Amino acid sequence: MIELKLLRTLLALQQTGSLQGAASRLFVTQSALSHQLKDAEQMLGASLFVRKSQPVQFSAQGKLLLDVATTVLPQLDLAWQQLKSGQLPAQQLRLTVECHACVHWLLPALKAFRQQWPQVQLTFETDIQHHAIEAMLHDELDLVLTTDRRLEQQVSYLPLFELELFAFIAPEHPLAAVAFVTAADLAREKLLVYPIPPERQDLFRLFLQKTAFSGELRQVAHASQMLQLVAAGEGIAVLPGWLAEPFVSQGLIVVKRLSEQGFSRQMYLAYQRDKQSAALTAFYQLLRRYSPAAQPQAVA
Tell me the CATH number at 8.
Answer: 1.10.10.10
Q: Which one, of 38, 67, 61, 57, lies nearest residue 48 by Cα? A: 61
What pLDDT is attached to residue 299?
A: 41
- For residue 134, the enclosing domain spans 90-300
What pLDDT is attached to residue 90?
A: 53
- Picking from 39, 55, 85, the residue at the C-terminal end of a domain is 85
Instruction: Kindly tell me if the per-residue pLDDT of 232 is higher than 90.
Output: yes
Tell me the CATH number at 294.
Answer: 3.40.190.290
Contact in structure between 235 and 218 (CB atoms under 8 Å): yes
My answer on whether 178 and 266 are in the same domain is yes
Range 29-47 average pLDDT: 88
Contact in structure between 165 and 203 (CB atoms under 8 Å): yes
What pLDDT is attached to residue 294?
A: 41
Helices 30-44 and 4-16 cross at an angle (nearest 10°) of 120
pTM for the model stands at 0.59
My answer on whether 38 and 96 are in the same domain is no
- Picking from 85, 100, 132, the residue at the C-terminal end of a domain is 85
Instruction: Kindly tell me if the per-residue pLDDT of 212 is higher than 70.
Output: yes
Range 100-122 average pLDDT: 82
What pLDDT is attached to residue 87?
A: 52
What pLDDT is attached to residue 300?
A: 39
Contact in structure between 167 and 263 (CB atoms under 8 Å): no
- Picking from 28, 53, 85, the residue at the C-terminal end of a domain is 85
Range 207-214 average pLDDT: 89
Instruction: Give whichever of 98-112, 167-181, 229-243 has the largest mean pLDDT.
Output: 167-181
Range 71-76 average pLDDT: 79
Count of structural domains within the chain: 2
What pLDDT is attached to residue 79?
A: 67
My answer on whether 33 and 101 are in the same domain is no
Q: Which of 70-74, 180-184, 212-216 has the lowest mean pLDDT?
A: 70-74
